[in-house]
C-alpha cells in the first residue's frame, strides 16, 4: 500500500476513535474509590473520591426532630454521588412500603424529576427500592433506598450530562454494607 493511502486509511480510523475517546474521557478514567466507615460503625460505603460530610437538624412531618447525615463526592464534571441516612423513631408507625414510597417521592421532588422506573427489592435482607428518574435539565437520577430498622439509607447518583454510567452506579450501590 502506498504511504499516502496508508495515511488516509489510518486517519479515517484514528480521527473518529480519538473524537470518541475525547468525548467519553471522563468515563474512561477509573474513579479513585475510597471506603467510608460510619462513625457509629453501622455501615460502610465506597465513594468515587473523598466524600464531604454534612449533618443537618430536621423536623419530620410528625414533628419529631432528628439529624439528617449526608456524604457527597463529585466523581467528574457532571456526576455526583450522595449518601444520606437518618434515624426516625416514627418510622415504625408505617409499613416499609409506605416509608419507601415517601422517600422515593421526596427524592424525586428534590431533584425536580419524574419517575422513569422503580423496582421493589430486598438488599442484604432489608426492604429497598431501586429508582431511576429524570431530573432538571437533561440530568439522570439513580437512587437506592433501604430501610434498616428505624434507619433509612439513600444512595444517589446524579449525572447532569444525562449519561447513566450503570457500572459505577451499581458499584456504588453494591458497596453499601450495613453492620
pLDDT of the residue at 154 = 96
Give the residue numbers spanning the domain of 15.
1-28
Same domain, 87 and 125: yes
Same domain, 75 and 162: yes
pLDDT of the residue at 175 = 97
pLDDT of the residue at 46 = 97
pTM of the model: 0.80
Side by side, the strands of the sheet bearing 177-178 are 33-37, 43-48, 177-178
pLDDT of the residue at 136 = 86
User: Cα-flanking dihedrals φ and ψ of residue 106, to 5°?
Assistant: -70, -35
pLDDT of the residue at 91 = 78
Same domain, 24 and 67: no
Q: What is the CATH number of the domain that holds 76?
A: 3.40.1000
Pairing of strands 177-178, 151-159: unpaired
pLDDT of the residue at 26 = 45
**How many domains, in total, are found in the chain?**
2
Same domain, 20 and 64: no
Grid coordinates given for 167: 457500572
Grid coordinates given for 54: 454534612
Same domain, 110 and 167: yes
pLDDT of the residue at 3 = 47
pLDDT of the residue at 126 = 96
At 84-98, the pLDDT tens digits run: 999 887 777 889 999
pLDDT of the residue at 177 = 96
Picking from 150, 155, 94, the residue whose alpha carbon sits closest to that of residue 123 is: 155
At 16-47, the pLDDT tens digits run: 433 333 344 444 557 899 999 998 999 999 99
The alpha-helical segments, DSSP class H, found in the chain are 3-23, 25-28, 96-110, 166-175
CB 31: neighbour CB atoms within 10 A? Answer: 20
Per-residue pLDDT of the chain (179 residues; tens, 9 = 90+): 554 444 344 444 544 433 333 344 444 557 899 999 998 999 999 999 999 999 999 887 667 788 999 999 999 889 999 999 998 877 778 899 999 999 999 889 988 899 999 999 999 999 999 999 998 888 999 999 999 998 999 999 999 988 888 999 999 999 999 98
Amino acid at each position: 500500500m502506498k504511504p499516502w493511502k496508508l495515511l488516509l486509511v489510518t486517519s479515517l480510523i484514528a480521527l473518529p476513535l480519538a473524537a470518541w475517546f475525547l468525548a467519553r474521557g471522563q468515563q474512561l478514567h477509573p474513579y479513585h474509590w475510597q471506603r467510608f466507615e460510619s462513625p457509629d460503625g453501622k455501615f460502610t460505603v465506597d465513594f468515587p473520591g473523598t466524600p464531604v460530610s454534612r449533618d443537618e437538624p430536621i423536623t419530620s412531618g410528625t414533628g419529631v426532630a432528628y439529624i439528617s447525615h449526608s456524604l457527597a463526592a463529585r466523581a467528574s464534571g457532571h456526576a455526583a454521588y450522595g449518601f444520606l441516612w437518618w434515624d426516625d423513631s416514627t418510622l415504625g408507625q408505617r409499613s416499609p412500603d409506605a416509608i419507601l414510597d415517601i422517600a422515593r417521592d421526596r427524592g424525586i421532588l428534590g431533584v425536580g424529576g419524574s419517575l422513569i422506573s422503580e423496582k421493589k427489592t430486598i438488599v442484604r435482607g432489608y426492604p429497598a427500592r431501586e429508582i431511576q428518574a429524570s431530573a432538571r435539565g437533561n440530568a439522570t437520577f439513580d437512587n437506592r433506598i433501604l430501610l434498616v430498622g428505624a434507619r433509612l439509607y439513600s444512595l444517589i447518583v446524579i449525572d447532569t450530562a444525562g449519561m447513566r454510567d450503570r457500572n459505577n452506579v451499581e458499584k456504588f450501590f453494591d458497596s453499601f454494607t450495613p453492620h
